Structure 1
């Protein structure tokens, strides 16, 4: 912006101010809390229902995960989950439903490019880094834990 006049600089600053979104942190936190809370309530309902049907805690937890992932994938396919995530922010993106959305969304978006070059190559464009760094971090922390055990630091 070296050769701009003061008038042009001021006009640019006004343009940037007009285009820059204003965030209300307390409101965004409340929306995330509500969204995440509703997802957790649905998960608890599924868990309790499975236990009432006679499943043990482990099997109920497995069914809970499967059903939440299925709901998320269906809502993504119907283009509803992105709207929920836009409103609820991290409240919708952090739980298992957000992870399912991050896998389903690229599959839907790139299906027109074919099974291999579209879905096969791009399905993990969003979730891939999460998986990679999650596995790497788990390995690293496990290695540190193992070293601490060998060194006698852990009881």
Structure 2
């Protein structure tokens, strides 16, 4: 038993010595700057809606998010977003664009099964859970806010 443990440790040490070192700092910087660039693009889209369509800062949020998701879905469909994601890593997964990419990727992957059962059924596997937990979280936050405002008398 002790011999197997020592062999396993030797193998793990050997394996660790052969693995290439990951450039963690470079990867973090890429994720930071690409994620930040996506957010800057989102800010420009928001300002576009506020300037040309007279949205307020609060009302420009929903069309901005929808526009970012739509752009992401187009880029994913043409295979561009995946190349960006390979370069930036988590920088593309964290913003709302990661959600759009995940939804459309599931749809593209199952398109051979047909539009209803393949695309429609698999596209909303991820979206359904996000919508469910988002709605439930909003309900809980609203309930907590209502309780606190009732106790504070406002």
Q: Same fold (TM over 0.5)?
A: yes
Extract unaligned runs of 5+ from structure 2. none
Matched, 1:97 2:97: yes
The answer to which structure has the higher helix fraction is 2
In structure 2, C-alpha distance between the alignment counterparts of 1:116 and 1:2, rounded to whole Å: 57
Instruction: Provide TM-score, normalisation by structure 1.
Output: 0.75
Q: Who is 2:84 aligned against?
A: 84
Instruction: Provide TM-score, normalisation by structure 2.
Output: 0.75
In structure 2, C-alpha distance between the alignment counterparts of 1:7 and 1:147, rounded to whole Å: 60
Change over 3 Å in CA distance of 1:6–1:84 after alignment to 2: same
Offset from partner CA, 1:1-48 (integer Å, 9 cap, x none): 887374454224423664587461x43332122112221232333344
**Alpha-carbon offset, residue 136 of structure 1:** 1.4
Q: Who is 1:55 aligned against?
A: 53
- Aligned 1:33-52 pairs, distance under 5 A: 33-51=32-50
- Aligned 1:2-81 pairs, distance under 5 A: 4=4, 6-7=6-7, 9-15=9-15, 18=18, 22=22, 24=24, 26-51=25-50, 54-58=52-56, 63-81=63-81
Change over 3 Å in CA distance of 1:6–1:94 after alignment to 2: closer
Q: Who is 2:149 aligned against?
A: 149
Extract unaligned runs of 5+ from structure 1. none
In structure 1, C-alpha distance between the alignment counterparts of 2:152 and 2:23, rounded to whole Å: 46
In structure 1, C-alpha distance between the alignment counterparts of 2:3 and 2:118, rounded to whole Å: 45
**Residue-pair matches, total:** 152
